[in-house]
Structure 1
């Protein structure tokens, strides 16, 4: 798949709530994942570790009120999307969050992802 096709498939799977399937299908074995500096999952390496951090995040969620992902903007081997979430976390309350995700694609697989966001604020 080319970069646009990978982006389209990721968006489709995320919109269907199939995040683990997206990792299985689209991520390279040696994927690197970066979150903002100082966050608990600042740097993760390897497909299994990225799946683990995704499962850990899902286990923290008490209720997902809404989530959306934009269409992709593609530039050669890179694409970016905007993600919006309104989530109630177990023991932490409800938080609204907007982030920009940047992905790098090589040989039809996502080899790197990086997320840009501010620490979520409590919605109520």
Structure 2
């Protein structure tokens, strides 16, 4: 798959609520995931570790009220999407988050992801 096809597939799966399938189907084994400085997991390396990070996040979620992902913006080997999430976390209450996700594609697989959002300080 080329970058546009990978981007379109990621958006389709996310919109269908199949976020873990994104990792299993589209990520390279050597994926590198970056979260903002000060976040829970700033750097995660490897497909199994990224899958584990996502499973840990889902384990903290009580309810997802709303989520969305924009159409992708593609340039060369990169694409970006705006993402929105409205979720209630177990024991922590409800929270909304807006982020920009940037992905790099090589040989038809996502090799890096970088999430850009404001890390809560309180």
Q: Do Structure 1 and Structure 2 share a fold, with TM-score over 0.5? A: yes
Alignment of 1:13-28 (within 5 A): 13-28=13-28
Q: When the two structures are superposed, what TM-score results if normalisation uses the length of structure 1?
A: 0.95
Structure 1 ranges of 4+ moved more than 6 A: none
Shift of 1:121: 8.8
Shift of 1:19: 1.1
For residues 73 and 121 of structure 2, the distance between their equivalents in structure 1, rounded to whole angstroms, comes to 27
Shift of 1:119: 2.3
Is contact 1:97–1:121 with CA below 8 Å preserved after alignment?
no
Partner of 2:37: 37
Q: When the two structures are superposed, what TM-score results if normalisation uses the length of structure 2?
A: 0.97
**Contiguous gaps of at least 5 residues in structure 2:** none
Is contact 1:83–1:98 with CA below 8 Å preserved after alignment?
yes
**Contiguous gaps of at least 5 residues in structure 1:** none
Q: Deviations over 1:7-38 (max 9, x none)?
A: 00000111111111110100000000000001
Shift of 1:40: 1.2
Q: For this pair of structures, how many residues does the alignment match?
A: 122
Q: Deviations over 1:42-63 (max 9, x none)?
A: 0000000000000001111101
Q: Secondary structure at the match of 1:36?
A: coil
Alignment of 1:26-65 (within 5 A): 26-65=26-65
Distance 1:71-1:90 versus aligned 2 partners, 3 A rule: same
Distance 1:98-1:121 versus aligned 2 partners, 3 A rule: farther
Q: Secondary structure at the match of 2:74?
A: strand
Q: Cα RMSD (Å) of the superposition?
A: 1.3
Partner of 2:98: 98
Partner of 1:118: 118
Partner of 1:74: 74
